[in-house]
Structure 1
Amino acid sequence: MQTVLLTGFEPFDNDLVNPSWEAARELDGVQVSEGVQIVARCLPCAFATAGEYLAQLISELKPAMVIATGLAPGRSEISIERVAININDARIPDNLGQQPIDTAVVVDGPAAYFSTLPIKAIVKALRDAGFAAAVSQTAGTFVCNQVFYLLQHRLAGAGVRSGFIHVPSSPPAGQPSLVDGLRLGVSTAWLTQADVVETGGQVS
């Protein structure tokens, strides 16, 4: 059985729940296709421990694909992230009270890493299914971006596709559930070998 590692985050900033984990946990054990199963795990929202725990999970599970997810307060759509940058610049303290400002995620690491998921194919599949979705050009500079960067840094050249999806606090009224959206995103990422070519850029 091959494994797709799907992570969400614990609540932060005084929230009681984090939709990224609430959705991901519902998919733990779900089969993406024959012989491929999702394993969902919750990451701490802390600069000092999130990346370390993710690395431990990758070592233990040896996943064939990794998709990390997190909450993007204020966004109204599922955001498929394109790029992780080598900077920590926390607007608020994390759950351990740390608030790094203008520090490198990896000292002397590359300025950025791109997702290796078929990001536009995922967006297209989500939109076709009635979800609000878009390619996002920034994962922010909080723990989500740090985890995204460390994920791509660790798996660079390993042949394991990986990336990050931001979810909204609550889906717009009338669209399917976030659980269904993540399930579709994971299955599209797994089954799509070559990304689609269509517009997704932004003017500003």
Structure 2
Amino acid sequence: MDSQCSCVVVTGFGPFRQHLVNSSWEAVKELSKLGLGSDVELRILQLPVDYREVKQRVTRIWEDLQPQLTVHVGVDPAVKAIFLEQRGKNRGYRDADIRGFRPERGVCLPDGPEVIVSRVDMKAVSRRVAVEGVAVAFSGDAGRYVCDYAYYLSLHHGNGCAALIHVPRLSPWLPASLLGKALQVIIQEMLKETEKARLKDRCTGNSLGKSIQGEPTGGLLL
């Protein structure tokens, strides 16, 4: 990899339940056609809706690629807007994955903090980005399914340099091409936020990443 390029990993999810075509992966494929700029090496990866496989693959992303930022994209069939998730939760994973598996005691990492907050200021990003044809909004609760599970793991391994974006299902009014363009605009803004955080840390001497305690709530999103 070119030392002058930043590596950004963006993942989408495969089929689950009635969602034989997952809009998250379709959007990520469209993003790969657009890229994130000449100074960013974009890697995309489809994750299965499988807790155990996700844990292995997310760990390998951070160990092997050491990206500047990892962005997980999931689908929320109940929404019409794109939601930027601020935090990942450690507990409450009680819904079975596509193989019928549930994490033991519903926990992602037994010794992990209850909540890990992204280094990316999602409220700031949601205020600054504008994508014609789809709204972009902030969310503080990503639900409790494999997408939030992957997000928490990425926040843990990446010292907070991770993001989760929930996109709506595809429709004639919201095609994959529009979602892909939206991802491009949003992630480029997220990269500006991560650079601001790095500069701030250099000035203050703070370490990357932060966690807060919180009570798990939420439902099924992917």
Which TM class, normalised by the smaller chain length?
A: 0.7 to 0.9
- Cα deviation for residue 133 of structure 1 reads 1.5
State how far apart, in whole Å, the 2-side matches of 1:174 and 1:47 are. Answer: 29
- Write out aligned runs for 1:164-179 (5 A): 164-170=164-170, 173=173, 177-179=178-180
Secondary structure in structure 2 of the residue aligned to 1:45? coil
- Check whether the contact 2:34–2:181 (CA below 8 A) recurs between aligned residues: no
- Cα deviation for residue 30 of structure 1 reads 4.4
Which amino acid in the other structure matches residue 164 of structure 1?
L
Secondary structure in structure 1 of the residue aligned to 2:129? helix
Please report the RMSD computed on the Cα atoms of aligned residues, expressed in angstroms. 2.4
Unaligned runs of 5+ in 1: 196-204
Q: Match of 1:198? A: none
Which amino acid in the other structure matches residue 6 of structure 2?
Q
Identify the structure with the greater helix proportion: 2
Verify: 1:114 aligned to 2:117, yes or no.
yes
- Cα deviation for residue 52 of structure 1 reads 1.0
- Cα deviation for residue 124 of structure 1 reads 2.1
- Check whether the contact 2:94–2:106 (CA below 8 A) recurs between aligned residues: no
- Cα deviation for residue 69 of structure 1 reads 0.9
How many residue pairs get aligned? The number is 191
Verify: 1:152 aligned to 2:155, yes or no.
yes
* 2:66 maps to which of 62, 79, 88: 62
- Cα deviation for residue 57 of structure 1 reads 2.1
State how far apart, in whole Å, the 2-side matches of 1:114 and 1:122 are. Answer: 15
Secondary structure in structure 1 of the residue aligned to 2:109? coil
Deviations 1:120-152 (A, max 9, x none): 232123346453121111111111111111111
- Choose 170-179 or 39-48, whichever is displaced more: 170-179
- Cα deviation for residue 105 of structure 1 reads 0.8
Q: Match of 2:189? A: 188
Verify: 1:5 aligned to 2:9, yes or no.
yes
- Check whether the contact 2:13–2:24 (CA below 8 A) recurs between aligned residues: yes
Q: Match of 2:40? A: 36
